[in-house]
Structure 1
Amino acid sequence: MAGHAVVVPYPARGHVNPMMQLATKLASHGISVTFVLTESWHKIMTKAMDNDFSHAQKLGLDIRAAIIPDCVVGESERWGNMTNFFLSLSNMETHVSELITNLKSSGTAPSCIVADTFLRWAVPLAKRHNLLSIALWPMSVTTFSIFYHIDLVGLQVCIDCIPGVPSIQRAELPHEILSASPLSNEIAKCLMDVREANWVVGNSFYDLDCSAVEAMINRTPVQCVGPLLIMPSQAHCHDGKDDSQCSQWLDSKPARSVIYVSFGSFIQVSRAQVREIAMGLMQSRCYFVWALRPDKEASHVSEMLPTGFLETSKEQGLVSSWFNQVDILKHPSVGGFFSHCGWNAVMESISAGVPILGFPLALDQFVNCKRVVEEWKFGMRVRSREDENRVIAAQEISKRVVVFMEGEENVRFRGAVERLKELAREEVINGGSATNLKLISDRLKAPQCP
C-alpha cells in the first residue's frame, strides 16, 4: 500500500526549499506527495525552481502541486510586520482541510500531514482527520532545544541551563523569542503544539547535533533526516536562467580562489553596508560571485552598489540577483562562502565542503555562526551582535576576506568542513538520517496507517 502525504511548507524561501527536499525524499521511498502552495508561492516556485514537480515526475516520483488561494500576508510585507504574517498563517488551515476532504472523496485519501513546525494548526488538523503528522524543523536541533526551553533563560547574561546546548551568551540567542510579545507568544504555542506530532524531523544530522538530540529524547524527540539537499536525484533550485556565463567564468579561475557571497533571501542588508561590502571585496583582490537581492526601492542590483562598481569589478567578480547557490558552492574554483549563516546555507556549505565567513543578521544565525567558528571550526566571523548598530567598513571586510581565503587557517577550515561533508554523506546514504527516513516512510505505507 502506497502512503500519501499532504505536505505544507511555511510560505518563505528558507522553509519551502527544505520542505521540497523532504517531499522528494519521501517520494523516493514510494510515498505519494501532494505539495500545498498558495497561488503566489506556486508562481514563485514554478519560476524559481524550473518546475520541480515536472522534474520529479520525470524521475518517476509522485509529487504534484495543490494550489490554495492567497490567504497569507505577502512576502514583501513579512519582515516589516512578522506578527501579522505569523497570525495570518492560520488562514491556511481551512483551505488545507478542504483539500484533505476532497482527496478522501476522490479515493486518494492521505495518510499523513507533513508541515512546518511554525504552522501550529497542522498537528491538530491531522488529528481531526485521523491522520499521522510530521513536523519539519528547518533549523538545527540545537536551535530547537533553545526555542523549546526558552522559558529557562530568564535574565541571565551567560546561559548554561538549556539541555543539549553549550554555554551561550544571551546576546547570541534569537531576539525574536526573548521578549514578551505577540510574536514570541505565537512561537511558544508552536513549540507546545508540536509535542503532539507523531514525528518531529530536523534538517540536520546526528554528528552536528548529538547533544541536543540526546537531550530531547525524553521531551519531544527530534529525528535527524538531513542534510535534506543530499540525495541521489537532487532536484536543484533553478529559475530558468542560463548559467553558462557564470559556469564559464568560474571555469576560468584557479581552484578555491573564488568567494561566493550571499546573505539569504529574507533579511535585507542596508545599502550603506552593501556598499562597504562591495568596496571590501574589491580591495581584497579576491575573485567573487555575489548574489545580491535588490531592496524594495531598487529595480536593479546596480542601484545598491557604488557608482560604476559593476564595470570596475567585471574582471574580478560577478554580481546578479540570483545564482544557483548549490551548484556554485560545488564548483572547484569556489573556496569560501561569505554567508549570513542561515541554517540552509550552513547545510549547503557542509554538503559542498566549503568554509564559511560568517555575517549573521538575525534569528538563529548568530547561534549558527558561533557553532561554525567555535564548535565545528570551519570558518570565521565578520559580524557579531555587537555590530548590529554599526556599518562594518570596507577595510575591515577586505582584511577578513584575505585572511579567510589566503591565511594560514584556511587549510584547517577546509579540512574541518571536508570531514563534516563525509559524515553528512554517510548519514544520508547509510547512517541515522537514512534509517530514520525509511522507518517513517515504512510506517506511512503500512496498511493500518494511521
Structure 2
Amino acid sequence: MASSATACRHVVAVPYPGRGHINPMLAVCRLLVAADDALTVTVVVTEEWHALLASAPTLPDRVRFATIPNDVIPPERSRGVDHAAFFEAVSVKMAEAVERLLDRLVLELEPRPEGIVVDTYLTWGVAVGARCRMPVCSLWTQPATFFLALYHLDLWPSGDDHEHDEELSTKSMDRYVPCLSSVRMSDLMVFSRWKRHMKITAEAFVNVRKAQCLLLTSFHELEPCAINTTAELLPFPIYPIGPAHVPPDGNTGRIQDEEHRDWLDAQPEKSVMYVSFGSYASMPRSQFEEIAMGLLDAGVKFFWVARDKAPELRQMCGDRQGLAVPWCDQQEVLCHPSVGGFLSHCGWNSVLEAVCAGVPLLAFPVAWDQLVNARMLADEWKVGIDMREHRGQDGIVSRAAISDAARKLMDLDSAAGQEMRRRAMQLREASRGAVREGGSSHRSLSGFLKDLAGGVLEVAKSSR
C-alpha cells in the first residue's frame, strides 16, 4: 500500500503519557509510515518516556521523537500515588508544554505538519491543534463499544444507591445505550464514584466532537454494531484501522529471548497458560497468591510475566510447573504454538493481541474499559471466561474457582474448551483479513491517508 509520492509530508502524534496509550500510538505511527513512504511522524513524549522507549522495538526511521520536559507531569513510577495530581498535570501543565513545542515544530518542520494525531483523553488536543491550524485526528486506544458508552454519558442512569452490585450485574446497558447488550450496568456504574476522572472524561467527549476525524485501533469485524453506530453519530469520518501491531500474515517472528524460547519450545502444543496483568495494573497480594495456587492445583503449566514479583513467584512455585519472568515480548509469546490460554487483566491492547493470536482468555479485569472488555470476550465473542463472576464477598477469586476455570479453558478435549478455541481462531482469521490488502482496516487506512493528503480533513471554525 506504500505510496509512490516523493514529496515529504509531516504529521505530529501526541499520545497520552501511559504505556497502554503510547504503545498503540506508536503502532499506529508504524502503520502510517509503512502505508505512505512520503510521510514522517514526529511523536511528542516526555524526556522520561523517551528514555523508557529506548529499549522498545526499533521504530522506522520516519517515526521520530520530540520531547517536552519531565517536570510537566509526575514521573511514571509514582503516577499511581496520586491519580488526581497526575490527571491535573496532564490536563494543564502538559497542555502548555505541548503547545510551546508545536509552535516550534510548525516553524522548524519543512513542509509544515499537515495534521496532528492526538489521544482522545487529552482534553486540550483539539484546541491546540486548531490554534496551530492543523486538522486533529483523535485516536481512541480502547474498544469502540467503550467509546460509545462514554459518548453517551448523559444517557447513563443516575443509579440507585439501594441497588447492590449483584442486581446491577443482571441489567444490560443496552436499554440506555445502543450496542451495549453484553455490557452490564455494574461494569460502568462503579465509575460514578470517580468524580475527578469522570469529569475529565466528560470534557474529553465534549471536545472530541470538534475533531476532524476519529481513528480506532479496533476493526469492523470485531465490533460492527459499535463502529457503525459511532459512524452515524459523529459529524466527521471515522477510520477503524486495527489491529495495528500485527503484520497481515500474523508472523511476529522468532522469540528473541533465549530462555523464553527454549522453555516454550520444550512444552506441548497449546499446553501453556500465559499470565500477564499489563504494565500498570496491580492486585492484592492475596489474589496474587490465589492465582498461583489455583494454577498449580489445576496442573496447568504457565508462563507468567510477574514484573518485580518474578523472583518471589519462582520461590513460591518452583520450576516444576512454570516460568516466571519480569518481562517478555507479549505478542511473540502469545503466537508461540505451546501457548493455549491467556490469563489477563484485559487491557484493550492485550485483548487485541490475544484476538490476533487466536488465544482464549481467562479475564481478571481491574478497572475502566477492562470490565467492558472482559464482558465482551466472555459473553459476546465467547472466547473466554470472566472471573469477575466468581468473586467472593471479599472481592477475591478463590484458588478453587481459578483452578476449575483454568482446567476448562485449557482442556483440549472438552466441548467448552473446543468451542472457545474455535471462536478464537475465527477472530484471528478476521483480524488478519482486516489488515490484508482489500480488507476493512486496509481500506480504512488508505482512505484516511488519502483524505489527509487531499485536505479533506479541514479545521472547522467551531473547533478554533
Task: Give yes or no for TM over 0.5.
Answer: yes
Q: Which stretch of structure 1 is more off in the superposition, 38-47 or 213-222?
A: 213-222
1:271 to 264, 277, 285: 285
What is the distance in 2 between the residues matched to 1:289 and 1:107? 46
Q: Which stretch of structure 1 is more off in the superposition, 89-98 or 363-372?
A: 89-98
What is the distance in 2 between the residues matched to 1:15 and 1:351? 19
What is the distance in 2 between the residues matched to 1:147 and 1:283? 40
Match of 1:228, as an amino acid? A
Offset at 1:162? 0.4
Q: Does 1:435 align with 2:443?
A: yes
Q: Does 1:78 align with 2:79?
A: yes
The equivalent residue for 2:405 is: 400
What is the distance in 2 between the residues matched to 1:269 and 1:448? 46
The equivalent residue for 1:355 is: 360
Structure-2 change in CA distance of 1:172 and 1:92 (3 Å): same
Q: How many residues align?
A: 430
Offset at 1:362? 1.1
What is the distance in 1 between the residues matched to 2:176 and 2:390? 21
What is the distance in 2 between the residues matched to 1:212 and 1:20? 24
What is the distance in 2 between the residues matched to 1:101 and 1:273? 48
Offset at 1:346? 0.9
Please say if residues 369 and 381 of structure 1, whose CA atoms lie closer than 8 Å, have aligned partners that are also in contact: yes
The equivalent residue for 1:254 is: 268
2:333 to 311, 328, 340: 328
Deviations 1:112-152 (A, max 9, x none): 11111011111111111110111111111100011111221
Q: Does 1:151 align with 2:167?
A: no
Q: Does 1:25 align with 2:31?
A: yes
The equivalent residue for 1:102 is: 104
What is the distance in 1 between the residues matched to 2:132 and 2:320? 59
Match of 1:405, as an amino acid? M
Q: Which stretch of structure 1 is more off in the superposition, 392-401 or 29-38?
A: 392-401
Gaps of 5+ in 2: 1-6, 160-167, 459-464
Deviations 1:38-66 (A, max 9, x none): 0111111112x14x33xx12xxxx11111
Gaps of 5+ in 1: 295-299
Offset at 1:213? 1.7
Please say if residues 27 and 63 of structure 1, whose CA atoms lie closer than 8 Å, have aligned partners that are also in contact: yes
Which secondary structure state, in structure 1, belongs to the residue aligned with residue 207 of structure 2? helix
Deviations 1:258-284 (A, max 9, x none): 110011122211111111111111111
What is the distance in 2 between the residues matched to 1:204 and 1:6? 21
Which secondary structure state, in structure 2, belongs to the residue aligned with residue 256 of structure 1? coil
Please say if residues 117 and 136 of structure 1, whose CA atoms lie closer than 8 Å, have aligned partners that are also in contact: yes
Q: Which runs of 4+ in 1 moved over 4 A?
A: 232-238, 385-388, 447-450
Q: Which stretch of structure 1 is more off in the superposition, 104-113 or 262-271?
A: 104-113
Structure-2 change in CA distance of 1:174 and 1:255 (3 Å): farther
Deviations 1:366-417 (A, max 9, x none): 2111111111111112224955843222222112111110133111111101
Q: Residues 338-377 of structure 1 correspond to what in structure 2 (within 5 A)? A: 338-377=343-382
% identical equivalent positions = 33
Q: Residues 220-239 of structure 1 correspond to what in structure 2 (within 5 A)? A: 220=234, 222-231=238-247
What is the distance in 2 between the residues matched to 1:181 and 1:381? 27
What is the distance in 1 between the residues matched to 2:73 and 2:115? 23
Q: Residues 287-306 of structure 1 correspond to what in structure 2 (within 5 A)? A: 287-294=301-308, 300-303=309-312, 305=313
The equivalent residue for 1:297 is: none
Offset at 1:180? 6.6
Offset at 1:21? 0.4
The equivalent residue for 1:65 is: 65
Structure-2 change in CA distance of 1:183 and 1:67 (3 Å): same
Q: Residues 137-286 of structure 1 correspond to what in structure 2 (within 5 A)? A: 137-155=140-158, 157=168, 158=171, 159=173, 160-166=175-181, 168-173=183-188, 175-176=190-191, 178-179=192-193, 181-220=195-234, 222-231=238-247, 243-286=257-300
What is the distance in 2 between the residues matched to 1:244 and 1:29? 33
Q: Does 1:88 align with 2:89?
A: yes
What is the distance in 2 between the residues matched to 1:235 and 1:116? 28
Match of 2:80, as an amino acid? W
Structure-2 change in CA distance of 1:179 and 1:320 (3 Å): same
Match of 2:453, as an amino acid? K
Offset at 1:223? 2.7
Please say if residues 248 and 432 of structure 2, whose CA atoms lie closer than 8 Å, have aligned partners that are also in contact: no
Q: Residues 381-392 of structure 1 correspond to what in structure 2 (within 5 A)? A: 381-384=386-389, 387=392, 389-392=394-397
Q: Which stretch of structure 1 is more off in the superposition, 63-72 or 84-93?
A: 84-93
Please say if residues 39 and 68 of structure 1, whose CA atoms lie closer than 8 Å, have aligned partners that are also in contact: yes
What is the distance in 2 between the residues matched to 1:167 and 1:141? 14
Q: Does 1:123 align with 2:132?
A: no
Structure-2 change in CA distance of 1:236 and 1:37 (3 Å): farther
Q: Does 1:380 align with 2:390?
A: no
What is the TM-score normalised by the length of structure 1? 0.89
The equivalent residue for 2:164 is: none
Offset at 1:202? 1.2
Q: Which stretch of structure 1 is more off in the superposition, 274-283 or 217-226?
A: 217-226
Match of 1:35, as an amino acid? V
Match of 1:23, as an amino acid? C
Which secondary structure state, in structure 1, belongs to the residue aligned with residue 232 of structure 2? coil
Offset at 1:334? 0.4
Structure-2 change in CA distance of 1:233 and 1:46 (3 Å): farther
What is the distance in 1 between the residues matched to 2:100 and 2:247? 33
Q: Which stretch of structure 1 is more off in the superposition, 121-130 or 100-109?
A: 100-109
Q: Does 1:411 align with 2:425?
A: no
Structure-2 change in CA distance of 1:276 and 1:180 (3 Å): closer
Q: Does 1:42 align with 2:47?
A: no
Please say if residues 373 and 379 of structure 1, whose CA atoms lie closer than 8 Å, have aligned partners that are also in contact: yes
Offset at 1:243? 0.9
Structure-2 change in CA distance of 1:435 and 1:174 (3 Å): farther
Which secondary structure state, in structure 2, belongs to the residue aligned with residue 253 of structure 1? coil
Which secondary structure state, in structure 1, belongs to the residue aligned with residue 118 of structure 2? strand
The equivalent residue for 1:15 is: 21
Which secondary structure state, in structure 1, belongs to the residue aligned with residue 260 of structure 2? helix
